[in-house]
Amino acid sequence: MPGSVLITGASTGIGRALAFEFSRRGFALGLCARRLELLEELKEELSSENQVAVAHLDVAELESVPEVLNKLADELGGVSIIIANAGIGGRSYPGEGTFHQDRKIIEINVLGAMATIDAGADILKKQGGGQIVGISSIAGFRGLSSTPAYSASKAALSTYMEGIRNHLLQHKIAVTVINPGFIDTPINTHRKSRPFLISAEKGAQLMADMIEKQVLSSTVPVWPWAVISRIMYLIPERLWCRINV
């Protein structure tokens, strides 16, 4: 029986695609993002058969996260799945004046996600259970030289979610970590190479399947990234430094 799902960063990219996919599956939706006007447009495009609540939220404004999530959950009459999806990317190199960008990446991708998870866990504990999902990335498996702050942020998110899983399971809250490869969204369109690229629609379908099955952690798609990720771990650091450009 479909429930309700709350998605941060729902105005574009993976969040937007997940909104369409969960709407298609009959879920009520609570959508939040920095650009409220895009959410309003998205709400008009979604199926009128499902309840959709939208709200402005910049997850970097940490104090506002619990208020917005609770407001959406109340409007939906409860929530069964909370997806911490909001995130940004960007190329950066130490000593080249890009620290302000690195700081923003960490604020949104790590602290913003943790604030979402914290507020979401509080909501779900009071309801007696549910599921928290973190949208991480294959970029978190090893440090990528062109996007080191982004890699660090996703590694931090995955490690944090692994750390909280046992505690939340005691409260009947499942924890799922999704590690997308290259999904065709604005966050990676600047890259010259996007190996094994899949559409946002296909990516959302695969992710929703995994979320409904309450998998612990998975790459998206599973093949070939599950194999590639293991190979990435095995590459010696000296060699990784030479090939990681």
The CATH number given to whatever domain includes residue 186 is 3.40.50.720
CB 157 within 8 A of CB 150: no
pLDDT, tens only, 73-124? 999 999 999 999 999 998 888 999 999 999 999 999 999 999 999 999 999 9
1: pLDDT strictly greater than 80: no
CB 13 within 8 A of CB 200: yes
Q: Residue 134 — very low, low, confident or very high, per pLDDT cuts 50/70/90?
A: very high
Active site residues: 150
The pLDDT of residue 194 is 87
Q: Residue 245 — very low, low, confident or very high, per pLDDT cuts 50/70/90?
A: low
CB 79 within 8 A of CB 128: no
Give the SS3 label for residue 116.
helix
Per-residue tokens: 44: 């008009």
Domain total in the chain: 1
Predicted model pTM: 0.96
236: nearest Cα among 142, 166, 151, 165: 142
How does DSSP assign 143-212, residue by residue? --TT-HHHHHHHHHHHHHHHHHHHHHHTTTEEEEEEEE--BSSGGGTT-S--TT-B-HHHHHHHHHHHHH
Q: Which domain, by its residues, includes 218?
A: 4-243
Q: How far apart are CA 198 and CA 211, in angstroms?
A: 18
